[in-house]
A and B are shown apart, each in its own frame.
Chain A
Amino acid sequence: MSNEIWVIADMKMDGSIRKVSFEALSEAKRSMQSKIGGPLCAVLMGSGVADKAEALGKYGAEKVYVVDNAHLKDFNPDGYVKALSELVAKHQPHIVLAGNTSFTEDYIPRVAARTGSGLAMEAIDMGLTDDNRLTVKRYSHSSKAISEIEFKAGNTMMATIRPNTYKEEESPVSPEVINEQVDISDADIKVKVVNLETKMSDRPELTEAERVVAGGRGLGSEENFKYIYDLADVLSAAAGATRAAVDAGYCPYDMQVGQTGKAVSPTLYFAVAISGAVQHFSGMGTSKVIVSINKDPETPIFAKSDYAICGDLFEVLPVLSEELKKALAE
């Protein structure tokens, strides 16, 4: 085992590095690196990505391992599993961290299996034991429990981190760039992309957003989701939804927050016409401030909220959007 800490640079559709990768680098720098002693490293995988190494140096990456390969152009797990597994086997990092995204969920478990690494998904807290083994806190049981997990020594320790858990903090260095050759052939790529649909939105991405406005079944139609988008835009917030709203076709699946959908941790979460089922709460219960708007005085979400208005969303939201616009302009 080396004494390197690695952070995987996870990328968005537009090729930019996700904020959670910077959060992971910042936290590794703050609370792990001096204890473990080795360099803080980033791993950059993709096609035409070499120019992004500097951005990682800004958050403290002293070394950047780059795998630039045409077979990594789509977000296709086959190539990434091979690339990262070979790198881990070759360099034996002490710890590997990554943001928890739908893409890392898709390939990191396979890398852990192939490389014999320990793995915990979606950490909400991390630490080190006296002998520098990783510890991780994570939600389980539909977020009704928090498990503290300790890694054993002797294997690379891997963890993914829930976005918005740690503060990103710049500490610029000029990274040493190490180009790694991984032999990925057409035959390695079993899963072929037939059609890729990206939804570029002007709103911030759900998992990264500081503020989220989410709507539930009570919105009643796709058109009515305009109420949600209007409030979201006033707050520069991301827009989210419950499964009931997604199932009913009011909005696309990638807005779903919850056990199946995304886990979000914003500063401010608006739950509009949402009852607060465990499967929804487990995706937003770590929000710092929860505000709910619901017309049912007995709705379970009230007992999980900081602030609430018991009222009809169609009457309350337009007034609220206006008031907030004024308050934010001051």
Chain B
Amino acid sequence: MKIVVFVSQTLDTEARVAVSSSGDSVATDDVKWILNPYDEFAVEEAIQTKEKLGGEVIVVSAGPARGIDAIRQALAMGADSGVHIKDDGFAETDNYTIAKIVASEIKKIDGVDFVLTGMKIIDDESVQVGIQLAEELGLPHVSLVSKVVEVDASKLVCQKEIDGGSVVVEVPLPALITCPDAMNEPRYASLPNIMKAKKKPVNEVTLDDIDFDTLGISRDAVGKSGSKVTTVKIEVPVIDRKLKIIKGSDDTTVKGEEIAQAVQELVQLLRDDAKVL
């Protein structure tokens, strides 16, 4: 089974997020770059599938030079080889253009059976590239897969969550799925495996290697000026809340009779101050 996982490197959003001096992007001076958390679930699922059915896992990522770290992490988890489409201009590029470029490298590989992506990137959160990759590759897709029920050489049965329920679907392979968290437990890469990952093959590709004519787009499509939508401004929202915290007399939890008082005070605040009752 030939399995492809698309991964991206993302800014660690657990940390503080600040606006850059240009005002239209997020500052990246002192940030930590990580493998997109949702992509970790995709990599784990790919490796588990390989362990069950045999075959190989290929990781593909488009991004600047530092993006190699995300690929190496996936290799350390157990993927076999990588493709790194290296360019600094992807940040403001149209989602479908990114999908076209990364897909073009997969079209060169014969006999891909199963393709996985994360459900979204936690920095830009565009929530588009995964499904658009399926479109570009001409594959059916199942998004937000919560559990792979069964997979063999010819088909995939999986559960996905929908508003108001859940559904089990069957799709013939090759197909693409997008992965949320909690579908599996991503493994930690052990030190020996991190060392081994450094020797696994990564094919480095530049935009010069991309056949834009076949993709039906021009090279100028890469970057801000070629995008159908552009970010013109970034703001950091301030959390502006009333912060009326009712605590007990010892400055911790309310106890005993304080509970009824606290509840009455809260209800009164909701009625008269917030006016939401």
Contacts and interface: CB of A to CB of B under 8 A. Distances in A.
Interface of A: 12-13, 74-75, 77-78, 81, 101-103, 105-107, 109-110, 112-114, 116-122, 135-136, 138-152, 155, 190-200, 205, 207, 211, 243, 246-247, 253-254, 259-260, 262, 267-268, 278, 285, 288-291, 295, 297, 302-312, 315-316, 319-320, 323-324, 327-328
A306 B243 contact: yes
B104 interface: no
B253 A312 contact: yes
A118 B228 contact: yes
Given A145-B26, A260-B181, A278-B13, A106 B143 contact: yes
User: Taking chain B's interface residues, is the majority helix, strand, or loop, or is none over half, making it mixed?
Assistant: mixed
A109 B178 CA distance: 13
Nearest to A150: B232
Interface of B: 11, 13-14, 16-17, 19, 26, 38, 94-96, 99, 119, 122-128, 130-132, 134-136, 140-144, 146, 157, 161-172, 175, 180-182, 227-237, 239, 241-248, 251-255, 259-260, 262-264, 266-267, 269-271, 274, 276-277
Given A191-B142, A310-B246, A144 B17 contact: yes
A208 B124 CA distance: 25
B172 A246 contact: no
Contacts, number: 270
Given A196-B165, A310-B248, 16 more contacts: A13-B164, A13-B165, A113-B128, A119-B128, A138-B125, A140-B234, A142-B122, A150-B230, A193-B167, A195-B168, A196-B168, A198-B164, A253-B146, A254-B161, A254-B163, A310-B253
Given A109-B131, A305-B243, A309-B266, A146 B95 contact: no
B243 A302 contact: yes
Given A151-B229, A316-B259, A307 B164 contact: no
Contacts of A260: 38, 119, 180-182
A286 B73 CA distance: 35
Contact of B165 (A77, A113, A199, A297): A199
